[in-house]
């Protein structure tokens, strides 16, 4: 059963669309369920002034994307980096266990868009996903997992 907040964000998603001149763009996906989230950020003086999303997926994926944008607008980059899937879950008053992965994708979409912004601006990359095994490639650090391994003997 979905909470009223989940149903509201699904039926009336906030911040849907693209930002043409986005400062950071991140796309993540989960091959197991088919959900794809793309997040766009407009950042001025270290503050997220606008966030928009496009999501292909189930109602929970749309709701978590919508809530994630609501949670980061007005926050500093550092504050936005601290937003976890648990924060998204709590803000939506929970999700059924089988849909929790949608909140993880929302967290990863935020991280991917922030990492894109940081790379474009020569800032340090977010290392939250440094220990990621790369099994799905959707944690926002795709480049790290798809570079060939360098053998010390070459």
Specify which residues 56 forms β-bridges with.
Answer: 36
Among residues 102, 135, 136, 139, which one is catalytic?
102
Q: Contacts by 89-98 with C-beta closer than 8 Å and gap 24+? A: 91/5, 91/67, 92/3, 92/5, 92/6, 92/9, 92/63, 92/64, 92/67, 93/3, 93/4, 93/5, 93/6, 94/3, 95/2, 95/3, 95/6, 95/60, 95/64, 96/1, 96/2, 96/60
33 is catalytic: yes
Q: State the catalytic residue, choosing from 33, 132, 135, 139.
A: 33
Residue 135 annotated to the active site: no
Catalytic residues: 33, 102
């Amino acid at each position: 059963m979905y909470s009223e907040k989940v149903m509201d964000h699904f039926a009336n998603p906030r911040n849907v669309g693209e930002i043409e001149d986005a400062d950071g763009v991140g796309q993540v996906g989960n091959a197991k369920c088919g959900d794809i989230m793309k997040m766009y950020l407009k950042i001025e003086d270290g503050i997220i002034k606008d966030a928009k999303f496009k999501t292909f997926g189930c109602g929970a994926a749309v709701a978590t994307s919508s809530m994630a944008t609501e949670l980061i607008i007005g926050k500093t980059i550092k504050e936005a980096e601290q937003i976890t899937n648990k924060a998204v879950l709590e803000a939506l008053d929970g999700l059924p266990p089988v849909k929790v992965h949608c909140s993880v994708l929302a967290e990863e979409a935020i991280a991917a868009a922030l990492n894109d912004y940081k790379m474009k601006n020569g800032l340090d990359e977010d290392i939250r996903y440094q220990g990621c095994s790369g099994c799905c490639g959707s944690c926002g650090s795709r480049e790290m997992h798809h570079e060939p391994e360098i053998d010390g003997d070459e």
